[in-house]
Amino acid sequence: MHIVEELKQKVLKGGNINREEAILLTSAPLEELTCAADEIRQTFCQNGFDLCTIINGKCGRCSEDCKYCAQSVHYQAANLESYPLLSTKELLEGAKYNEERGVLRYSIVTSGRRLSDREIEKVCESIRTIKKETSIEVCVSFGLLGEAQFQKLKEAGASRVHCNLESSARYFPEVCTTHAYEEKIETLKAAKRAGLSICSGGILGLGETMEDRIDMVITARELGVTSIPINLLNPIPGTPYERNRPLTSEEACLCTAIFRFLIPNASIRLAGGRGLLEDKGKACFQSGANAAISGDMLTTAGITVETDLALIKELGFEVRLSNG
C-alpha cells in the first residue's frame, strides 16, 4: 500500500500520524496527497467553512523584534501608521460591518508584548458592547497575557484567543529574541485554563525547514489547538525578511495537506499572504484547508469578504462556526 493511502486510512480510523510519517508525506505525489487531505477534511469537517476577519485594534510601536513584522520599533518599514487602542465606537463599527457581510468571527488584534491591565479593562468594555449589539463571535490577540486577564476577557464575552507559535521551538529564536517560545505556549495554556478556545499557527517562508513546519503543528496538536492559521510570508521592505522568497502555490498546498493529516478535525485557516497566490488560495481549499481570514490583514491588503464568499460557494462550502 502506498504511504499516502496507508496514512490516510490510519487517520480516517482515528489514529494520529507521527513526525516521521508526516515527513514521509513531504515526498509523496502532490495531487495524490492533496486529494487524500481533502477526503480527510470532508470526513471530519464536512463542508463547513469558518470565516473570520481581523481588525488592527492597536498599531505600531511594538517592543518585540519579530523579523517579519512591520510594526516592530526595531525596523524601518515605510509608511506604517501608529495609533493607540481603538475606541469602543470604532471596534463596534468594525464588528457590525463584518456581521452584515456574513462574517461569523471578528478578531481584535493589538501590537506590543501584551496589553496593560488598564487596556484590558477598556477593551473588555468594548467586547461587552459588541456582544450586546451584535451576534458575532469575538476573538482576541492581545499578546502574552495571563490566566486572570483571560478570565476577564471571557467574562466580557470573548470566546477565542489567538497566539501564533510562528514556527518550531527549534527555529523560533531565529525569528524573535525578545520573548521565548515557552512564553507563547504558557499563554495558550493560560487561555485554555480560563475556558477560552485557542487558535495558533504560524508563518511559512521565514527560512524554516519542512520539519520545522511539521514540528510547529505537532506542538499545536499537543496543546489541543483546532484552529490553525497558515500565514504565507509577505516580505515587507524594511524588515529583515524583506528578501525572502514567497512560497509557491504548490508549496502552500503541500503544507496545507500535511497539516490536515496531522490535525484532521482542525479549522486550517489561510491567513496573511494568501493574496500573493495567483488563485487566492483556491487550490489550498481543495487540499484540506477549510477556513480563512478575510478582508485586510494587519499591515497588508487582503481579499474582500465578497470575493471570498463567492469562492466559498463555488467550492461547495457553507460558512459556519467550527471548533468552538
- Residue 298 in this model has a pLDDT that exceeds 60: no
What are the domain boundaries of the chain?
19-319
**Lowest mean pLDDT, pick from 66-80, 228-242, 253-267, 290-304:** 290-304
- φ/ψ of residue 244, rounded to 5: -65, 145
- Cell, residue 129: 458592547
Q: Alpha-carbon Rg of the chain, whole angstroms? A: 19
CATH 3.20.10.10 fits 19-319, yes or no: no
What local confidence, expressed as pLDDT, does residue 317 receive?
97
Beta bridge partners of residue 245, listed in sequence order: none
Question: What does the pLDDT look like over 16-60, one tens digit per residue?
Answer: 999 999 999 999 999 999 999 999 999 999 999 999 999 999 987
Which DSSP state fits 179?
Answer: S
Interatomic CA distance for residues 304 and 308, integer angstroms = 6
**Whole-structure pTM value:** 0.95
What local confidence, expressed as pLDDT, does residue 296 receive?
60
Percent of the chain with pLDDT over 70: 96
Residue 183 burial (10 A CB sphere; 0-12, 13-18, 19+): middle
Question: What does the pLDDT look like over 160-216, one tens digit per residue?
Answer: 999 999 999 999 999 999 999 999 999 999 999 999 999 999 999 999 999 999 999
Which residues are CB-neighbours of 89 under 8 A, at least 6 positions away?
A: none
Q: How many Cα atoms sit within 13 Å of 188 on the Cβ side?
A: 22
- Mean pLDDT score of the chain: 94
Question: What does the pLDDT look like over 107-160, one tens digit per residue?
Answer: 999 999 999 999 999 999 999 999 999 999 999 999 999 999 999 999 999 999
